[in-house]
Structure 1
Amino acid sequence: MEKNQYSIFESEITVRPDDIDMFNHVHNSKYFDYVLAARYEQMDRFYKMPMEDFMKAGYGWVVRTAYVDFKRPMILGDTALVRTGILTINEKGCRVQFEIENKRTKKIASDGWFDYVMIDIASGKGMKVTEEMIHTYSV
C-alpha cells in the first residue's frame, strides 16, 4: 500500500493571560485549543476550504481520539508555532499530527496527534469521507 506524503502547515498563536494555570504556565487543555485553532486557520489558508463552507455543505470534523505528549512548559507572552499536517486520511476519517514549538526557546513544547471523523451535521452521525474530500486534503 502506497503511503502518501501530506503537507505540514504552520500557524502562530500568542500565549494569553487566560491560557495560564496556577503554576504560571500554559494549562494542558490550551494545547488542544492551539491545535484546533491552527487547523481552523489552515483549512482556509492552505486547503482553500474554510470551516464555514465545510459546515454550509453539511459536514463537520469531530475529534474521536487525541494524544498529546507534553515536553516543556510555555509561559505568558510566548508564541506557539503550531505545525500540523495530515498523517493519514481515508473514508473513515483522518489522523492529524502536530507539534507545538516555543518560538522563544526554539524547542518543542508538545507534540501528538488527533483522530477526526467526519459527521453529517444534520443527523450528528458519522459519515464516509468522500474521494473529493480526500483529494482536497491531499496537498
Structure 2
Amino acid sequence: MEKNDYSIFESELKVRPDDIDMFNHVHNSKYFDYVLAARYEQMSEFYKMPMESFLSNGYGWVVRTALVEFKRPLILGDVISVRTGILTINEKGCRVQFEILNKRTGKVASDGWFDYVMIDINTGKGCKVTPEMIAAYSV
C-alpha cells in the first residue's frame, strides 16, 4: 500500500464456500465484498462515524471508480487480513486504498483503491462531504 498521512486499519475475514468459483478459488467479485465489509466495520470501530450515522442524516457513500489488481488466488478456508486506509479526502469524496493479505501464505492476494462520492439518499444526487466528516476520517 502507498504511504500516506492517514491511518491504515485491518479487519480479518475467512473465505467461505459461497465465495468460491468454478476454478476452486475466490471469484473476483468477492474481493469487492471483502473490502466493503472491512470498511463497514472500520467506519464504526476506528472512525467512530459508522455508515448508519450517514444514513440517518440522509447521506450515503457510493463507489464511483474501483481498481483491483489480482496478484494471487485465495482458496476455501483462507483467512485474510483486509487493510484499508484513506489516501485522499475532500469535499468531493475520498479515495480508499486496500490490500488483502493471505494469512496462510503471508502474501498479498490483491490490492487497489476505491473512489467514493457522497450522495443525498433522498435525491440520489452527489453532495459535498462536510468539514466535520472530513475531520472524523482524517485520522
Q: Same fold (TM over 0.5)?
A: yes
* Residue aligning to 1:51: 51
* Residue aligning to 2:65: 65
Residue 133 of structure 2 is aligned to residue 133 of structure 1: yes
* Residue aligning to 2:106: 106
- How far apart, in 1, do the equivalents of 2:73 and 2:51 lie? 30
- How far apart, in 2, do the equivalents of 1:87 and 1:34 lie? 19
Counterpart amino acid of 1:49? Answer: M
- How far apart, in 1, do the equivalents of 2:138 and 2:75 lie? 35
1:45 Cα offset (Å): 0.3
Aligned CA-pair RMSD: 0.7
> Runs of 5+ in structure 2 lacking a partner?
none
Give secondary structure in 1 for the equivalent of 2:136. Answer: helix
- How far apart, in 1, do the equivalents of 2:44 and 2:91 lie? 22
- How far apart, in 1, do the equivalents of 2:35 and 2:58 lie? 23
Deviations 1:86-117 (A, max 9, x none): 00001110000000000110000000000000
1:124 Cα offset (Å): 0.6
Deviations 1:18-49 (A, max 9, x none): 00000000000000000000000000000001
Name segments (4+ residues, structure 1) moved above 4 Å. Answer: none
* Residue aligning to 1:83: 83
* Residue aligning to 2:6: 6
> Runs of 5+ in structure 1 lacking a partner?
none
- How far apart, in 2, do the equivalents of 1:95 and 1:52 lie? 20
Further displaced range: 83-92 or 51-60: 51-60
Give secondary structure in 2 for the equivalent of 1:33. Answer: helix
* Residue aligning to 2:93: 93
Give secondary structure in 2 for the equivalent of 1:126. Answer: coil
Q: Percent identity?
A: 82
